Amino acid sequence: MFELKVKTRFAGAHRLTMVGQKCENLHGHNWQVEVCVKGPKLNDAGVLADFGDIKKAVRQVVDGDLDHKYLNELSVFEGMQPTSERIAVYIARQVQALLDENLPEKLQVSRVMAWESEDACAIYYPD
Ligand SMILES: Nc1nc2c(c(=O)[nH]1)N=C([C@H](O)[C@H](O)COP(=O)(O)OP(=O)(O)OP(=O)(O)O)CN2
Ligand SMILES: [Zn+2]
């Protein structure tokens, strides 16, 4: 099995209730996002997939849907708190859909890490 990882980042704002009192105030983070994909075999070029194709999918989701947004107002988080855990789940599902649609290789998103600071990160492992 091979695994590749790409990174990107986005700025977003949110408010969280029932997490920590200071989190109830509107505030922002510069999230760093790491996405890992895995697959069993290399293609004829000797790669699992082109890093560029994976970055493109990740950036499409992160830049297109999340960057410079007030996350609580996004329909994808309607009725939910936009925690780092849920951000990681959202990115994993959207990136998987784009990879399935656009890449010939059979790849699985294996992990998404959403770092909301240098010290704190939520990691999601899709089933
Ligand atoms: N499991 C989670 N815990 C928390 C989340 C989260 O998404 N998942 N989010 C927050 C808030 O976003 C909060 O803004 C960050 O809180 P915290 O890390 O405690 O605050 P600081 O960045 O100021 O870090 P300090 O180390 O306290 O200075 C909270 N928890
Ligand atoms: Zn926060």
Contacts of 108 (CB under 8 A, 6+ apart): 37, 38, 39, 96, 126
Query: Active-site residue 23, yes or no?
Result: yes
Query: Ligand 1, residues 17, 21, 22: which to mutate, most atoms within 8 A of Cβ?
Result: 22
Of 127, 114, 48, 126, the residue nearest 84 (C-alpha): 114
Q: What is the mean pLDDT of the chain?
A: 96
- Asked if the interface predicted TM-score (ipTM) of this complex is over 0.95, the answer is no
Indicate the top mutation candidate among 15, 22, 23 to test ligand 1's pocket, ranked by most ligand atoms within 8 A of CB.
23
d(CA 4, CA 54): 9
* pTM score: 0.96
Count Cα neighbours of 84 within 13 Å in the Cβ-side half-sphere. Answer: 23
Q: Report pLDDT for 115.
A: 98
pLDDT at position 102, please? 94
Task: Name the phi and psi angles at 109, rounded to 5.
Answer: -65, 120
Which residues does the chain have with pLDDT short of 70?
A: none
Q: What is the pLDDT of residue 110?
A: 98
Nearest one of 40, 38, 32, 30 to 5, comparing CA atoms:
38
Q: Could you confirm whether 116 is annotated as catalytic?
A: yes
Task: Give all domains of the chain, ordered by start, each with its CATH number.
Answer: 2-124 (3.30.479.10)
**Model pLDDT, residue 105:** 83
- DSSP β-bridge partners for residue 28: 13
